[in-house]
Amino acid sequence: MFDRFPEPAADALHAVMARFRADPRPHKIDLGVGVYRDETGASPIMAAVREAELWLAQSGDTKAYQALAGDHAFVDAMSALVFGNAHAAVGEGRLAAIQGTGGTGALRIAMDLATIAAPGARLHLGVPSWPNHQALAEASGLEVVTHPYVDVASQAIDYESIVAAAGGARAGDLFILHGPCHNPTGADLSREQRLELLGMLGERGAIPLIDAAYYGLGDGLEQDLKVVQEMAAAAPRAFIAVACSKSFGLYRERTGILFAVAQSSAERDRVQGQMEKASRTLVSMPPAHGAAAVARVLSEPSLRSSWEEELAEMRARMLAIRAELAALSNQAPMLAGIERQRGIFRMLPLTAEQTEGLGRDHAIHMPQSGRINLAGLKSGDAPRLADALAEVTA
């Protein structure tokens, strides 16, 4: 059978990583893979996470399997972080939760449940979006229906198309809505737009699938989580996938959680059971280390304070980079408005040939889609990027 496998398509981001590694120029810039980087270009272990891991190494006494729902301390701590004590945002008894293998694993469980509950269900996806959204949906057997989200050339959200897509959603369909810091555009819907869309989906029996991966990197931790809370409270039913990769720096530990907002406690119990059943066939039992570290950070006051301070510093760095690039928009007009967006990403209206030219002639490496990770810029890099953009688009 192996000889019948088709040749796999190359992964665009891994291709960027390979080109960057192979580039011998000392001034090279990596704007590819979406991980946070500090001023030195490193993706550091957060101080609170490091302390939590040291504590775990000294106090841990087992490597036995966890429960199907995951680390209960992690689930409780993340529930309190995202929704407040006693699940105030959605009401007691309506929230099901299960640990996922990163945000990716959480999204996959939600999509698998959609195919179980509503055979023939579709996933409505605004594009551009995170490429894995479509791949996960197709792997789950969902039909993917796309609609425009942002016009990259103008950087304007195509709200009219998003509303039309919500109006065409059917009962049982999933509809992707991003939490703060849209990946890959950085362009977020307004509060009024989010609430209007959630109302439309609720009327049609469609289920919003809220992907929250960058909380704390937008307008601040409290403000970003309030966005998620308001979205959950406005939906009669919803899935919310929350990743710990970016906000805790736990990329390789694959730590995340899936929440489901049900209409009643009885419905919540059924959803909880189905989530655990789906996870059992995907990963059997969820991984322990990252979840235990997050639980420790969130439950120990000094570590919680340290984490929030470092997360705020990361956010401040991203805002400073955006401000610096915005000041260069006369030189590179495609950078205009970048200060109004949030998170680590921006989509640039570049052709494949132009992105290749940036890598070849300027040692600036990015995917052909034009998505750049702003955290890849170090001190002095912004003017170089603006100069290079002006040259390749002249």
Q: Which residues are catalytic?
A: 130, 211, 213, 246
Where does residue 84 fall: left (phi above 0), alpha (psi -120 to 50 degrees), or beta otherwise? Answer: left
CA gap 334, 191 in Å, rounded: 26
Helix (H) or strand (E) holding 345: strand 345-347
**219: which residues sit within 8 A by CB, 6+ positions away?**
180, 342
Q: Is there a contact between 110 and 258 (Cβ–Cβ < 8 Å)? A: yes
Place of tokens 């052909």: 368
Q: Which residues pair with 101 in a beta bridge?
A: 255
Give the relative orientation of helices 221-234 and 301-326 as an angle to the nearest 10 degrees. 100
Rounded to whole angstroms, the Cα distance separating 195 from 365 reads 38
Coil, strand or helix at 230 = helix
Q: What residues contact residue 154 under an 8 Å CB cut-off, 6+ apart?
A: none
In angstroms, the CA 212 to CA 207 distance is 16
Q: Are strands 255-261 and 345-347 parallel, antiparallel or unpaired?
A: unpaired
For residue 128, whether the previous peptide bond is cis, meaning omega lies within 30 degrees of 0, is: yes
List the one residue out of 76, 68, 135, 142 whose CA is nearest residue 104.
135
Vertex 228 angle, CA 77 and 34, to 5°? 85
